[in-house]
Amino acid sequence: MAVLKRKSKQTYQALKKLAQKIPLVGSILSDREQLLRDCGFVPPGHFYSPIPSLAEIKQDEAKIFAAPSREILGIDLREQQQLELLQAFLPYYTELPFPAQPNSSTRYHFENESYSYADGILLYCMLRHLQPNRLIEVGSGFSSCVTLDTNELFLDQSVELTFIEPYPELLLSLMRESDQKKSRILPHRLQDVDVELFDSLECNDILFIDSTHVAKIHSDVNIVFFEILPRLKPGVYVHFHDIFFPFEYPKAWVYEGRAWNELYLLRAFLQYNSEFEIVLMNTFMEHFHTSFFAQHMPLCLKNRGGSIWIRRVMRDSV
């Protein structure tokens, strides 16, 4: 059988070389091989491809994007605790220092395309509430500006800041010259950073994640879930950006071809997970407690964002 397979392959290769000498056939074969190289093992939308079929999504659209239930199987959303945290944020909300448009008083402004009203407000509130000693940010930009401003205006520059950003041009353009001296900037991929760096995070410290949002071989998302989260100490808070309730991406994003999957990995991670708990999921709370935001934190409704905060659970010592 092995001999037959070897001879069959040799015959195929010989016929292929012969066909390539015929101009039209050779061109077709060349185009086919280039297409296979471009598309990989299977084309996008194939059932073996991680890129979904938009036709199948359209077919199941009513089910995929149905009105969300208040419960997610296997995950404790801790709704009452989230509401209590938001109530604790109200004094901070009244002291928001950020303008809508850029000005010289702050680095951050709300009207930006990447980290707008609700996300920025809740990060600011969380920083003031936790008063962390350290914050490590993976993926930097306008969120970094919230942190830098809050650290300067309300925390007496007490937070040690590390920014991991392989494309730091935006970050550097938003920072002041003094920020670069006071902060640590690592212009590297997360894959190239020693994960022991994250051992420095202690209780109430923050790991801020705004990744590529794609789990694939040796991606930053895989590094986060498989090498960083398991080593975090109890009491460390973790932020993920572009996470939406009920753990599904916005319909418009899906149809424009964003085949992100970090959100699904996070959902699986949180199911039946007694080591990590949800602290705040703004799109969940904004959906089911719209009146609270309208009354107490109305700016959050101008752009609802998409962030989730989780925490490694504190255990009583035996």
Domain membership of residue 25 (yes or no) is yes
Q: Are 134 and 49 within one domain?
A: no
Same domain, 117 and 22: no
What is the predicted pLDDT for the residue at 41? Answer: 81
How many CB atoms sit inside 10 A of residue 142's CB?
Answer: 21
Count of structural domains within the chain: 2
pTM: 0.89
249 located within any domain: yes
- Write phi, then psi, for 186 (nearest 5 degrees): -110, 100
| Shared domain check, 108 and 40 | no
If asked whether residues 134 and 159 sit together in one domain, one would say yes
Q: What is the pLDDT of residue 33?
A: 72
Q: 38, 61, 84 — which closes off a domain?
A: 61
> Looking at the structure, do residues 181 and 274 belong to the same domain, yes or no?
yes
**Does any domain span residue 318?**
no
Give the residue-averaged pLDDT of 135-145: 99
Residue 66 within any structural domain of the chain: no
**H/E run at residue 55:** helix 54-59
**Residue 22 placed within a domain:** yes
Mean pLDDT of the region 68-91: 98
Read off the pLDDT of residues 43-55 as tens digits, 9 standing for 90 and up: 889 999 999 999 9
How far is Cα 123 from Cα 309, in angstroms, rounded to an integer?
A: 10
Do 223 and 270 reside in the same domain of the chain? yes
Please check whether residues 24 and 143 belong to one and the same domain: no
Whether the Cβ atoms of residue 207 and residue 238 lie closer than 8 Å to each other: yes
Task: Report in angstroms the alpha-carbon separations of 6 from 13, 15, 18, 118.
Answer: 11, 14, 19, 63
Give residue 217's domain range. Answer: 76-312
Please report the pLDDT score of residue 4 as a whole number. 45
Residue 317 lies in a domain: no
CA angle 159, 165, 167 (to 5 degrees): 145
Sign of CA dihedral 56, 59, 61, 64: negative
Cβ burial 86-96 (10 Å sphere, 16+ → b, else e): beebeebbeee
Q: Please indicate, yes or no, whether residues 50 and 82 belong to a single structural domain of this protein.
A: no
Q: How far is it, in rounded angstroms, from Cα 203 to Cα 151?
A: 18
On the 0-12 / 13-18 / 19+ scale of CB atoms within 10 A, 272 is exposed
pLDDT digits (tens, 9 = 90+) for 270-297: 999 999 999 999 999 999 999 999 999 9
User: Element (H or E) spanning 88, and its range?
Assistant: helix 79-93
57 and 81 assigned to the same domain: no
Is 67 within a domain? no
Considering the domain architecture, whether residues 43 and 191 belong to the same structural domain is answered as no
Q: Please tell me whether the peptide bond between 298 and the residue prior to it is cis, using omega within 30 degrees of 0.
A: no
Looking at the structure, tell me whether residues 209 and 177 fall in a common domain.
yes
| Domain match, 222 and 102 both | yes
Classify residue 120: in a domain, yes or no.
yes
What would the pLDDT profile of 214-255 be if each residue is shown by its tens digit?
A: 999 999 999 999 999 999 999 999 999 999 999 999 999 999
Write the CATH number for 307.
3.40.50.150
Strand partners, 240: 209, 308
CA dihedral (263, 268, 272, 278) in degrees, to 10, reads -10
